[in-house]
């Protein structure tokens, strides 16, 4: 299951007598285990009933598929979305690694996942689920991926070039010499592929509202084709009479002319849209899919409208936003953002106003303006008119990302947008992320919601006398936070006065276990006593360096750390920050207890 990759580590230096973490060398690769779970408690997983849903089981490459295991059930487990450990093998070992984190694209962890199959073939996707007692169950589904050269053969493909260079254009395909993007419109349609010559520049804008399969992508070798847009939208997707589905935009760069440009806007319902290796610069909103647009269309009597669904952005570089606009502003269902770089926004970097069944993984994000957030996740107005009335942002996974703090911000804010808005969030998991400090970052992470899990994250705070690692509370009029688990996180905070968790007085069922604060012995676990607390450590000594934490392949605890074998087994998570499996005696010690904090010691 999965390709095996060797690990090369020339030197790792652990500074100080207690903590972990400055790496002087980098690993060339990470060993990918042969199985998600090496051992299973007898019982053959009969205690677990896996619920596995896929957004589709066939289609043309590149094919994005969303996977959902949130209907899985297990004996004696109250919250399987949070308490079971899920591991996916996509059967696609040649899919490579994410440039942002170095992790294999062939693997994913968590109850929600997504994968882009770039090559035609038949793939067996396997899900393994493990309960807290060690029982493991598996379930598989087959995905059929069609060859685009066969689906779009002959005149189903049209090639576009500024200067008549059609080298590599498939046999039988149409050929159009133009520099105007709008000239593509006459060739869009079902079962149509449009190829843009690499290195060429195309000017203008394009409306796309066709049922697929359909595709726009690069042709040939060299730099991506560049789309030079003026003020307004470059790509207008869907519309009042929505038809857009099964569409791909691949290997294209968008260049705007400032804050008046929107790189790509969804103007109506759309399904199964993939942006793969898309670049964007100098826009206001680079990507815009607003719930407000859908509400407006419904109020105007437009039928067939709904939020976008099954929308994937992967391996894209989106930045240099301008004007007071979020770089990416999205509402929708089954959203996947995988392996992207989002940076240099005119306001928030990523604003998710209402999402369901959404995965944000292996991204590197940063570059906000003062007081704005790298990620702002909230819900629709619970008591407001529109399609969001009575709805929650629900089932969201933020995992394995790098969040680079800005100026005077809450780096990641999972809360209503203000104290006057009742915007509800539930069933959200924040795990294995790196929160890097910025100038005067007040909070790396703040959450307000129900059924929230925060685990295996590393938070690097700067040199300051007083610091808070994360906050759990209520922003304003929304219900109080409840059933929040904070476990196996490491916060590097060298100041003399550190609080691990700032707790709102109304929050209930808050569990704080197995967390590690380095750089100080004078901190407090929480601003008030949580509902359950234990095995948290404050350790003086050298703090976590950003360089070491960015190198997930090598970062680990030192053998001398008091965090080794000091955790509570009943609160242990399945994997550490680096994706290593936590297991009894997995570190070579005689103890079955996990290590405290986000990292497991590895000999």
pLDDT, tens only, 46-84:
789 999 999 999 999 999 999 999 999 999 999 999 999
Q: What's the pLDDT score for residue 44?
A: 56
Q: What's the pLDDT score for residue 554?
A: 85
Q: What's the pLDDT score for residue 578?
A: 93
Kindly state whether residue 349 falls inside one of the protein's structural domains. no
| Spatial CA neighbour of 132 closest among 455, 571, 428, 514 | 571
Kindly state whether residue 199 falls inside one of the protein's structural domains. no
Q: What is the 3-state secondary structure (H, E, C) of 152-182?
A: CCHHHEEEEECCCCCCCCCCCCEEEECCEHH
| Spatial CA neighbour of 375 closest among 366, 386, 384, 387 | 366
CA–CA gap between residue 156 and residue 187 (Å, rounded)? 9
Kindly state whether residue 437 falls inside one of the protein's structural domains. no
Kindly state whether residue 223 falls inside one of the protein's structural domains. no
Dihedral of alpha carbons 13, 16, 19, 21, sign? negative
Residue numbers of the chain with a pLDDT score lower than 70: 1-35, 38-45, 542-543, 583-591
Q: What's the pLDDT score for residue 466?
A: 84
Please compute, for residue 219, the number of CA atoms within 13 A of its CA located in the half-sphere on the CB side: 25
Looking at the whole model, is its pTM more than 0.85?
Answer: yes
DSSP-derived secondary structure letter, 13: B
- Indicate the number of domains in the chain: 1
CA–CA gap between residue 228 and residue 507 (Å, rounded)? 50
Dihedral of alpha carbons 391, 397, 401, 402, sign? positive
DSSP-derived secondary structure letter, 318: E
| Spatial CA neighbour of 508 closest among 444, 450, 589, 456 | 450
Kindly state whether residue 594 falls inside one of the protein's structural domains. no
CB–CB of 169/154 below 8 Å?
Answer: no
| Spatial CA neighbour of 399 closest among 596, 573, 566 | 573
Q: What's the pLDDT score for residue 40?
A: 55
CB within 8 Å of 159: residues ≥ 6 apart = 166, 169, 170, 173, 174, 175, 176, 195, 197, 219
| DSSP letter string, 510-570 | EEEES-EEES-SS-EEESS--SEEE--EEE-SPPPPHHHHH-TTT----TT-TTTT-S-GG
pLDDT tens-digit series, residues 270-282 = 999 999 999 999 9
CA–CA gap between residue 380 and residue 391 (Å, rounded)? 7
Q: What's the pLDDT score for residue 37?
A: 81
CB within 8 Å of 368: residues ≥ 6 apart = 345, 347, 348, 349, 374, 406, 407, 409
Residue 458: its H or E element: strand 458-460
pLDDT tens-digit series, residues 427-463 = 999 999 999 998 889 899 999 999 999 999 999 987 7
CB within 8 Å of 79: residues ≥ 6 apart = 451, 483
Partners of 107 in the beta sheet?
89
| Spatial CA neighbour of 208 closest among 182, 226, 230, 228 | 182
Q: What's the pLDDT score for residue 17?
A: 25
Kindly state whether residue 132 falls inside one of the protein's structural domains. yes
CB within 8 Å of 395: residues ≥ 6 apart = 68, 70, 81, 111, 112, 356, 357, 358, 427, 428
Kindly state whether residue 25 falls inside one of the protein's structural domains. no
**CATH classification at residue 85:** 2.60.40.10
Q: If you compute the radius of gyration of the chain from its CA atoms, what whole number of angstroms results? A: 24
Kindly state whether residue 96 falls inside one of the protein's structural domains. yes
| Spatial CA neighbour of 564 closest among 534, 543, 585, 578 | 585
Domain that holds residue 132: 48-148
């Amino acid at each position: 299951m999965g390709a095996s990759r060797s690990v090369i580590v020339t030197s790792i230096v652990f500074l100080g007598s207690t903590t972990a973490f400055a790496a002087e060398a980098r690993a060339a690769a990470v060993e990918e285990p042969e199985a998600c779970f090496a051992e299973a408690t007898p019982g053959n997983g009969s205690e677990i009933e896996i619920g596995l849903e896929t957004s589709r089981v066939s289609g043309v490459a590149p094919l994005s598929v969303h996977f959902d295991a949130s209907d899985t059930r297990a004996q004696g487990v109250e919250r399987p979305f949070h308490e079971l450990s899920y591991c996916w093998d996509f059967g696609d070992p040649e899919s490579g690694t994410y440039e942002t984190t170095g992790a294999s694209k062939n693997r994913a962890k968590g109850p929600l996942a997504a994968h882009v199959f770039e090559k035609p073939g038949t793939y067996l996707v396997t899900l393994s689920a493990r309960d807290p007692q060690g029982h493991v169950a598996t379930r598989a589904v087959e995905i059929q991926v069609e060859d685009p050269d066969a689906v779009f053969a002959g005149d189903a493909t049209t090639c576009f070039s500024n200067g008549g260079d059609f080298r590599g254009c498939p046999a039988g395909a149409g050929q159009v010499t133009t520099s105007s993007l709008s000239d593509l419109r006459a060739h869009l349609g079902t079962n149509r592929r449009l190829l843009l010559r690499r290195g060429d520049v195309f000017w203008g804008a394009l409306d796309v509202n066709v049922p697929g399969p359909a595709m726009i992508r690069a042709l040939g070798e060299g730099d991506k084709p560049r789309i030079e847009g003026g003020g307004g939208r470059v790509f207008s997707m869907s519309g009042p009479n929505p038809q857009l589905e099964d569409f791909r935009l691949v290997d294209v760069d968008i260049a705007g002319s400032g804050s008046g440009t929107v790189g790509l806007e969804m103007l109506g319902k759309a399904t199964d849209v993939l942006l793969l290796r898309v670049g964007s610069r100098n826009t206001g909103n680079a990507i815009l899919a607003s719930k407000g647009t859908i509400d407006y269309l419904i109020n105007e009597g437009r039928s067939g409208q709904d939020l976008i669904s099954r929308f994937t952005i992967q391996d894209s570089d989106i930045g240099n936003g301008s004007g007071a606009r979020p770089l990416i502003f999205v509402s929708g269902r089954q959203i996947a953002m995988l392996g992207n770089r989002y940076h240099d926004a005119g306001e928030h970097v990523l604003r998710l106003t209402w999402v369901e069944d959404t995965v944000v993984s292996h991204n590197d994000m940063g570059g906000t303006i003062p007081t704005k957030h790298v990620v702002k996740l909230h819900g629709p107005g619970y008591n407001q008119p529109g399609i969001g009335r009575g709805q929650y942002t629900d089932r969201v996974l933020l995992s394995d990302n790098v969040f680079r703090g800005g100026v005077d911000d809450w780096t990641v804010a999972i809360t209503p947008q203000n104290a006057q808005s009742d915007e509800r969030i539930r069933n959200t998991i924040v795990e294995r992320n790196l929160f890097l400090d910025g100038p005067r970052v007040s909070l790396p992470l703040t959450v307000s919601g129900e059924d929230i899990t925060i685990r295996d994250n590393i938070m690097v705070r700067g040199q300051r006398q007083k610091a808070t690692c994360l906050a759990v509370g209520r922003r304003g009029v929304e219900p109080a936070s409840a059933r929040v688990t904070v476990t196996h996180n490491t916060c590097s905070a060298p100041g003399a006065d550190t609080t691990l968790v700032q707790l709102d007085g109304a929050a209930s069922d808050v569990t704080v276990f197995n967390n590690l604060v380095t750089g100080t012995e004078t901190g407090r676990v929480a601003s008030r006593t949580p509902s359950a607390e234990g095995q948290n450590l404050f350790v003086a000594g050298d703090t976590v360096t950003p360089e070491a934490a960015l190198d997930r392949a090598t970062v680990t605890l030192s053998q001398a750390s008091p965090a080794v074998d000091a955790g509570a087994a009943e609160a242990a998570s399945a994997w550490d920050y680096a994706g290593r499996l936590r297991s009894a005696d997995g570190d070579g010690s005689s103890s079955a207890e996990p290590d405290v904090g986000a990292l497991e010691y590895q000999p």
